[in-house]
A and B are shown apart, each in its own frame.
Chain A
Amino acid sequence: MPTTTELLQGTLDLLILKAVSLRPEHGYGILLRIQQISRDALQIQQGSLYPALYRLEHQGLIASDWGESENKRKAKFYRLTAAGRRRLRDEAEYWKRFSEAIGLVLAAVPEDV
C-alpha cells in the first residue's frame, strides 16, 4: 500500500503549481514552500525539482524570469501562467471530488450497502 510520501511524489506537479500560485518563487523557495505545505512529508533530492519545473515550463503552465532574491542573489523566478492557473483549478477540483468520494466510501457503514 502506498505511503503518503509516494502519493505526494506522484503529485509533485500539483505541489509546484500550488507553490508558485501564491507568488513568483525561485527554485529553492519552491522547495521550501513544498516542504512547508507538505509538512516535510515529501522527501526528494533537491535537484529533481528542476526537471519537473522545466517540464511544466515546457508545457506552458509556468513561466520564468531572472530576478533578484531576498538575499540579493540572481535567481530565476517562476510564476503561474493563465494555462497553469486553469490546470491548478482543475486538478484541485479533481482532488477535492476524489477525496470526498473516498471519504464517503470510508464513512459507509454496513447498513448503507
Chain B
Amino acid sequence: MSALPRLRSFLSALLRRRRLEADMEAEWRAHLDAHVDALVAAGMSPTEAGRRARIDFGDPLRWKEQALEVRGVGWISGLGADLRYGLRQMRRTPVFTATVLVTLAAGIGLNTAVFSVIDAVLVRALSYPDAERVLWITTADRDSEVVMAVDFLAWREQATSLDGLVAFDFDNYAIYTADTVVESRVASVSDDFWTVTGASPMLGRLPLGGEEAVLLSYPFFVTAFHADSGIAGRAVRISGRQVTIAGVLPPDFRPQLTRPFAWNGLQEKAIDAYRTLTVTPPTKAPNGATVMQGVNVIGKLKEGVTIERARAELEAIRSRTNTANPKMRLPLTLRVMPLKEKIVGNSTRPLIVLLAAVSVVFLIACVNVAHLFLARASARCAEVAIRASIGAGRWRLARQFFIESALIAAAGAAAGLVVARWSLATIVRILPYGVPRLQETTIDGRTLAFAAAATMVAALVFGMVPVWSLWKDDARGVLRQTLYGALPIAGKLRTKAALVALEFALTIVLLIGAGLLIKSLWRLTALPDGFHPDRIVTMDLRFFGPAYREQGPRHAHAAEALRRVSIVPGVLAAAVTTNANSFLRLFRENDPIPPRQGDQPAEASLTAASADLARVMGMRVVRGRWLTDSEPFPAFVINETLARRYFGDSDPLGVRLRVPYVAQDSWATVVGVVADNTKLQRLDSPADPDVYVDYAHAPLFGYSIVASVAIDAAAAAAEVRRAAAGIDAAAPVLNVKTLEEALADSIAPYRFNLFTFGLFGAVALLLASVGIYGTLAYSMSRRTQEIGIRLALGATRNEVVAMVIRQGMTVALIGTLAGLALGIAVARVMRGLLYEVSPSDPYIFAAASAVLLLTGFAASLGPALRAATVQPVIAFRHE
C-alpha cells in the first residue's frame, strides 16, 4: 500500500479539519435518521426511536476523537488541549512560573552574553584578509613599546619575509566639516595599510603613494558630512591643513588596531578617519637633538614564512641599523607576535574567569530549576494519581507533563534571549572599551541553543518526576500514599537539601569574586585627601601650523589660556600641566645617580607644571616648596617615591638634576618634595618616580589645563572651554571633561570585571535564596501535622521557629563551608584582576560568608514563622 494516499488523507485531515468534521456530522446525521426510520417502521414512537438511535450510536465525541486518530492527526488536537492545560497551569501558579522563568532567563541570558563576548574577542579572527598572518611588531624598553622611524624604514626597505609593513599612530584632530568643527579620532597610516587591510572604498578611491589624503569611516561620513556622496575629492581642513578626502570606507571596514600610545593620553575611541602617514628619516633639531618619529607597526607575513624567521630577519636588520647609528639610543628588545594576541592577549585571563563565573551561575540556575520542579512535583503527585485512577494513560500523562515543562522552558529561553541582548547592549554601552573588540560582539546562536537546551533538559527531567512515580507503582498505590500523607517522593527531600547546599557553595564563590573586585575598585578609587577629581575640569590643547613651530608662542599661548581660564566665574584655581607617561633618564650634577633596581638607570616621568597645579590637584608639599610661575632658573619638585628611591636618607633639596628635553644647558635645582598621589592621571598606575618642572622651562608639545571649580563642574566645563578655545583656532581644545570622567575611563577593564561579577554574584545570591526558601517552605507544608502534634504535646512556638531555622541554616552552613574551600582555590586564579587586594583577603571571605548566611537566615525566617502559626486542631483535621 503506497504512502501517498495516507499522506494526502493526513494532510487534508490536518489542514481542512473543519470541513472534515462537518462531513462526519452530516454522515452521522444521515445514519441516525435512517436508524430512526427503521425503528419507527418497526413500531416504535418517534421520540422513543430518536432516543434509542442515539443510544445505539454511542458517544459521537468519542468517535470523532478516534476518527481523527486513525488519520494520524489525533495527537495534534490532544496537543492543543495539553498546551491550553499547560498555560492554565502556568497562570494558576504564578509564583512558581515567575521564579522558574527568572531563573531560566538569568541562566540562559547571562551565559549566552558571556559566551558571545568570548566568541567575539578570543575566538573570531580579526577582520583582516589572512588575519593569522598579520603581526604586531614593536621594540621596547620596559613597558613602553614604540618603533622608531629608523627601524621602520630599514625594515620596510630590507625585509623579505614580509608582505607589507604598516606604520600607524592615533591622534585627535579638529576637522572642519561643512557646518562646524568636530573633534575626531584620526588614525595616521602608511601606504601598506590599504593592502594589508584589503580596504576598498565605497566612495572615491584609495590614496595615491605619497599623497596627503584622508579617508572617512562610514559612521563619521554620515554624522559629520550627512552622507553627502559628493564629498569624495573635496578638500577638508584638518587642524589647519588642507587635505583631500580621497574617499569613504564601507560600514564593515573596522580593522582592529592596537590602543594608542600611553603617552598620547588618548582613550580608546572609534576611528573617524584614516589619514596618510609618511614616515621620514630622523632630522636634527636646531638645538642639536635628534628628532625622530615613533610609530606603531603591523606587518603581514609572507605566505609560508614562520614568525620565527621574520623575527630573526627583523632582528638582523635592527643590529645593522644599530651599528650604523651608534649614537641613537634605540629600544632594547624586539617583540613580534600575532596581532590578535597583542590586542586580546591581556583579556584572556579576565574572560576565562568571567566564563567560570557565568558557568557557576548557569549551574545554579539548573539546580534551581531542578528543585523548583521537584518541589512542585510532590504537590502534583496527588493530581497524577487521581487522573491515572480515573483512566488517564501513563503515556498520556507523561506527554502532558512533558508539554507543561517544555512550555515553561521555551518561555524561559525566550526571556533568556531578551536578557542576553539587554546585557550585551548594556555592557557595550557603558563600558565600550572594557574589553578589546567588545563592540564586535553579536549574540552567539550556538551558545543560546546550548544554554536553552541544557536548562530545558533540567526542566523536562524534573518536570516529569510526578509521572515517574506511576511507573514504579500503580495508580492506586500512588493515590493511597498521597492521601495518607506519605509522599512517593518524600525521600527526595534529602536530595533537595543537597542541591540547596550546592547552590550555597557555588554562590559564595561568586560572592568572594565580586567582593575581591569591589575591594579592588575601592582601592582604585580611594583618593588622597584634598584631591577632588569631580570638581576638576581637564582639557587638552594642541598646537598646529607654522605659528607654533617655536616654543615661545607655545608658552605665550599657555600663559594666556591660563589667564583667561583663571578669571572664568566659578573657577577657583587653574594650572598648566602635561601628560607624564614616558620615563626619562635622570642625571645628577657631579655625581651620577648609580643604577639601583637591577640594570635600570635612574628614571622618572616628567610633568610640566604651573604655580597652581598643587592647589588644583590637592598635592601636599612635604618638604621645601612648590613651583612658581617665575622661576629664574629651572626648578624641580620631586615626589616621595623618587626621593626615597634615589636619595634614600639624604636630603634631596638643593640637589641639581637634569633630564632630557629640559634646560639642556643648565642644571635644575630640586626645590621641594610632594606626597605621592598615584591617581593624578590614571587610577591604576603604580607609584612611580615623578619630577615636576616649572612649565616656563619645559618644552611644550601640547599641554593640558586643569581647573578646580566651586560647584557644577559640567556647567563650568563649557565656560572653561570657551575661554581657552577663543585664543586661536590653530590651537584647538580637545577632550574637555571632568577629571573624574577621565579617571573612570582609565579603569574601564576593572569596571567591566566588577560589573559582570557583581551582576553574577547578585543573581546567584537571589537564586540561592529562592532555593532555600522554596525547600523550607515545601518541607514545612508537608510537616504541618507533625508540627501540630509537637505543639499539641507542649512544644512552644519559639521552639518550632528555632527548629525550622536550624534546619535551614544547617544546609546553608554546610554549603557555605564547602564553598569557602572552593573560593580559596578560585580566588587565586583572579590574582591578575585585582588591585592592591590579596586573593585570600580574610575580610572579603568573612563578608561574603556573612552575606550568604544572612540571606539564608532571611529565607528561612518566612517558612519558620509560618510553621509557628500552625493551629494543632486544623492540622489534625487534615488527617
Residues of A within 8 A of B (CB): 26-28, 31, 45-48, 50-51, 54-55, 57-61, 69, 71, 73-76, 83
Contacts and interface: CB of A to CB of B under 8 A. Distances in A.
15 contacts: A26-B30, A28-B31, A31-B31, A45-B57, A47-B58, A47-B60, A48-B58, A48-B63, A51-B63, A51-B69, A54-B71, A59-B5, A59-B6, A69-B30, A76-B23
Interface centre among A27, A45, A54, A57 (most CB of B within 10 A): A54
Contacts of B62: 47
A57 B58 contact: no
A69 B1 contact: no
Contact of B27 (A27, A45, A60): A27
A54 B6 contact: no
A76 B30 CA distance: 9
A74 B30 contact: yes
Given A28-B30, A58-B6, 17 more contacts: A26-B30, A26-B34, A45-B58, A47-B59, A47-B60, A48-B63, A50-B24, A57-B9, A58-B70, A58-B71, A59-B5, A61-B1, A71-B34, A73-B34, A74-B26, A75-B34, A83-B1
B70 A55 contact: yes
B666 interface: no
A57 B23 CA distance: 14
A59 B72 CA distance: 11
A26 B28 CA distance: 10
A16 B70 CA distance: 16
Contacts, number: 78
A46 B9 contact: no
Contacts of B57: 45-47
B323 interface: no
Interface size class of B (residues with CB under 8 A): 20 to 34
A58 B9 contact: yes
A46 B36 CA distance: 13
Contacts of A57: 9
Interface of B: 1-2, 5-6, 9-10, 23-24, 26-28, 30-31, 33-35, 37, 56-60, 62-63, 66-67, 69-72
Nearest to B70: A55
Contacts of A31: 31
Contacts of B6: 58-60
A74 B22 CA distance: 14
A75 B30 CA distance: 6
A57 B8 CA distance: 11
A72 to B, nearest CB: 11
Nearest to A81: B5
Contacts of A55: 70
Nearest to B2: A60
A69 B70 contact: no
Contacts of B35: 28, 46
Contacts of B60: 47
A60 B63 CA distance: 20
A47 B71 contact: no
A50 B71 CA distance: 12
A47 B63 contact: yes
A54 B56 CA distance: 19
A19 B720 CA distance: 104
Given A54-B71, A69-B34, A59 B56 contact: no
A69 B31 CA distance: 11
A75 B23 CA distance: 10
Contacts of A28: 30-31, 34-35
B58 A46 contact: yes
Contacts of B2: 60
B415 to A, nearest CB: 41
Contact of B31 (A46, A48, A51): A46
Nearest to A32: B38
B34 A51 contact: no
Nearest to B65: A51
A26 B27 CA distance: 9
B748 to A, nearest CB: 67
Nearest to B4: A60
Contacts of A71: 34, 37
Given A28-B34, A50-B24, A60-B5, A45 B56 contact: yes
B10 to A, nearest CB: 8
Interface centre among A27, A45, A58, A73 (most CB of B within 10 A): A58
Contacts of B26: 74, 76
Interface centre among B2, B5, B6, B23 (most CB of A within 10 A): B5
Contacts of A61: 1
A50 B63 contact: yes
A83 B6 CA distance: 13
Contacts of B59: 47
Nearest to B37: A71
A2 to B, nearest CB: 23
A27 B56 CA distance: 14
A83 B3 CA distance: 13
Given A57-B9, A83-B1, A51 B30 contact: no
B447 to A, nearest CB: 44
Contacts of A58: 5-6, 9-10, 70-72
Given A27-B27, A28-B30, A59-B1, A51 B67 contact: yes
A76 B34 CA distance: 13
Nearest to A64: B27
B853 to A, nearest CB: 64
B727 to A, nearest CB: 92
B38 to A, nearest CB: 8
B72 to A, nearest CB: 8
A73 B63 CA distance: 22
A31 B28 CA distance: 13
A31 B30 CA distance: 13
Contacts of B23: 76
A76 B35 CA distance: 15
